[in-house]
């Protein structure tokens, strides 16, 4: 099939302001050939007749932070009382849920992602249970295999065993369109030596990883002073009294290697201006999850301070345990309502191009020559700002050109990149060495 040409009332390229009376040319492999004003683009393409779109054309969305595996928690975990009551309830509710119910809700959530025009996710997972569903719907991005636990020896053994866990749960990785990276949960739920080992492992393998950082005030109190609701929760819920670092949160983040360009920092709702400046200087990608922060803590991420620091944040929904949908445009809409000074097309950029960049996927998130972002549209009149029409839209959103998932090498995350020895000091005294690959792993 030859190229397809779309002539639209408005084109929102994702990485740039809207183009009124725009055109987009897409080749048979889903790659963008050209985008611009219709008056310039259309005369250059004599081929097929342009397909007229009365509305806004935009690239596939990127939900840069979610936990699809928690989809069965939809509506079951009340918020509004802070992180610790929320996570305590989550732990209880999760333990009552059957794997069948989980699997069903994962499928439903992934369908909803696809219908919302989402083409890539940054998906945090303990179980790897959503990997197959994401691949089946052609949703790409990154899978962050998450580790948590404050018992140093126990958690370092889990770090050593991640490769075996991966090989057992996902014997054949679906392909290069979904990257795999080990990931620390937070600096108050994971021993910092394990966090450092995971971040170094991701860096060695040349992949992006993810860390929840500065989500709420209780996190800072625990890390910096060893007091407050988090240490109390560890004592009552797990009968544990971890050694708290008692150091400034962002000093600890820097020390474990989290302020680096390959580490996606999620939330920063409790970050101060000087801390945001450190994040910006480090070049670490940032993901904000406004509806989740509102749900759990009743607070918004500091969008204006983030922008003032020179950070271009991506957006994520977090999970259905703290949100009502996995539609990343609803995050942009929530910010539009509360930060009217921020141009709406920039909020769309956060849900598209900034998310693609955060995940290290420059082939996604923008209608730009050579990219393969998937092409979508929302129909309707946009007398004023076309970004407002997009932000007001609800799923399902219409597919014009389905995204063609990336293929190619480096698809097997259980492969040879794991053979590097763990960094010195990362292994607990007495812990067994990383398991040698089994025949099955070697053949996959």
Comparison of 306 and 375: residue with beta carbon closer to Zn ion? 306
Comparison of 170 and 211: residue with beta carbon closer to Zn ion? 211
What is the nearest approach in angstroms of Zn ion to the Cβ of residue 124?
6
Comparison of 322 and 393: residue with beta carbon closer to Zn ion? 322
Q: Which stretch binds Zn ion (CB under 5 A): 84-92, 180-188, 312-320, 421-429?
A: 312-320
The residues in 403-442 that bind Zn ion, with binding defined as CB under 5 A, are none
CA distance 266 to 292: 11
Q: Which stretch binds Zn ion (CB under 5 A): 69-77, 91-99, 241-249, 317-325?
A: 317-325
Cβ-based neighbours of 317, under 8 Å, separated by 6 or more: 63, 65, 66, 289, 291, 292, 323, 325, 326, 327, 328, 330, 331
Comparison of 70 and 155: residue with beta carbon closer to Zn ion? 70
Q: Which stretch binds Zn ion (CB under 5 A): 79-87, 166-174, 310-318, 435-443?
A: 310-318
What is the nearest approach in angstroms of Zn ion to the Cβ of residue 269?
12
Residue nearest to Zn ion (CB): 318
Q: Which stretch binds Zn ion (CB under 5 A): 305-313, 318-326, 363-371, 431-439?
A: 318-326
What is the nearest approach in angstroms of Zn ion to the Cβ of residue 68?
11
What is the CB neighbour count within 10 angstroms for residue 436? 9
Comparison of 121 and 252: residue with beta carbon closer to Zn ion? 121
Among 318, 331, 363, 441, binds Zn ion (CB under 5 A): 318
What is the nearest approach in angstroms of Zn ion to the Cβ of residue 260?
19
What is the nearest approach in angstroms of Zn ion to the Cβ of residue 319?
6
Comparison of 178 and 287: residue with beta carbon closer to Zn ion? 287
Comparison of 106 and 401: residue with beta carbon closer to Zn ion? 106
Comparison of 8 and 129: residue with beta carbon closer to Zn ion? 129
User: How many residues bind Zn ion, per CB under 5 A?
Assistant: 1
What is the nearest approach in angstroms of Zn ion to the Cβ of residue 73?
12
What is the nearest approach in angstroms of Zn ion to the Cβ of residue 176?
25
Q: Which stretch binds Zn ion (CB under 5 A): 161-169, 192-200, 316-324, 365-373?
A: 316-324
| Site track for Zn ion across 269-308, x = CB under 5 A | ----------------------------------------
Comparison of 123 and 193: residue with beta carbon closer to Zn ion? 123
331 binds Zn ion (CB under 5 A): no
What is the nearest approach in angstroms of Zn ion to the Cβ of residue 189?
11
What is the nearest approach in angstroms of Zn ion to the Cβ of residue 76?
17
Q: In whole angstroms, how large is the CA radius of gyration of the chain? A: 22
Binding stretches for Zn ion (CB under 5 A): 318
């Amino acid at each position: 099939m030859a190229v397809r040409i779309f002539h639209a009332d408005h084109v929102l390229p994702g990485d740039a302001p809207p183009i009124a009376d725009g055109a987009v040319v897409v080749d048979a492999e889903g790659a963008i050939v050209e985008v611009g004003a219709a008056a310039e683009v259309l005369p250059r393409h004599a081929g097929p007749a342009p397909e007229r779109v009365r509305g806004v054309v935009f690239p596939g969305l990127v939900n840069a932070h979610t936990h699809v595996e928690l989809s069965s928690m939809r509506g079951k975990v009340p918020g509004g009382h802070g992180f610790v009551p929320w996570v305590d309830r989550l732990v209880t509710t999760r333990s009552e849920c059957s794997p069948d119910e989980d699997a069903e809700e994962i499928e439903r959530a992934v369908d909803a992602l696809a219908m919302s025009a989402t083409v890539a996710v940054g998906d945090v997972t303990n179980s790897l249970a959503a990997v197959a569903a994401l691949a089946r719907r052609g949703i790409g991005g990154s899978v962050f295999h998450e580790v948590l636990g404050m018992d140093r020896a126990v958690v370092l053994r889990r770090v050593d065993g991640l490769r075996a866990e991966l090989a057992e749960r996902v014997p054949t990785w679906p392909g290069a369109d979904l990257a795999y990276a080990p990931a620390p949960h937070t600096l108050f739920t994971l021993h910092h030596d394990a966090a450092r080992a995971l971040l170094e492992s991701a860096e060695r393998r040349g992949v992006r990883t993810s860390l929840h950082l500065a989500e709420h005030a209780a996190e800072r109190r625990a890390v910096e002073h060893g007091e407050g609701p988090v240490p109390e929760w560890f004592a009552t819920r797990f009968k544990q009294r971890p050694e708290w670092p008692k150091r400034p949160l962002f000093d600890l983040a820097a020390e474990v290697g989290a302020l680096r360009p390959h580490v996606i920092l999620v939330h920063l709702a409790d970050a101060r201006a000087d801390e945001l400046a450190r994040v910006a200087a480090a070049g670490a990608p940032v993901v904000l999850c406004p509806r989740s922060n509102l749900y759990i803590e009743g607070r918004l991420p500091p969008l204006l301070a983030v922008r003032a620091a020179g950070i271009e944040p991506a957006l994520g929904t977090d999970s259905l345990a703290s949100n009502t949908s996995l539609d990343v445009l609803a995050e942009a809409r929530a910010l539009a309502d509360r930060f009217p000074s921020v141009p709406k097309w920039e909020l769309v950029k956060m849900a598209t191009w900034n998310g693609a960049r955060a995940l290290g996927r420059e082939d996604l998130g923008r209608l730009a020559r050579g990219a393969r972002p998937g092409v979508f549209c929302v129909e309707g009149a946009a007398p004023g700002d076309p970004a407002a029409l997009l932000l007001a839209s609800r799923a399902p959103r219409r597919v014009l050109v389905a995204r063609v998932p990336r293929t190619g090498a480096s698809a097997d995350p259980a492969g040879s990149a794991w053979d590097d020895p763990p960094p010195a000091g990362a292994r607990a005294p007495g812990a067994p060495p990383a398991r040698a690959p089994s025949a099955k792993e070697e053949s996959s």
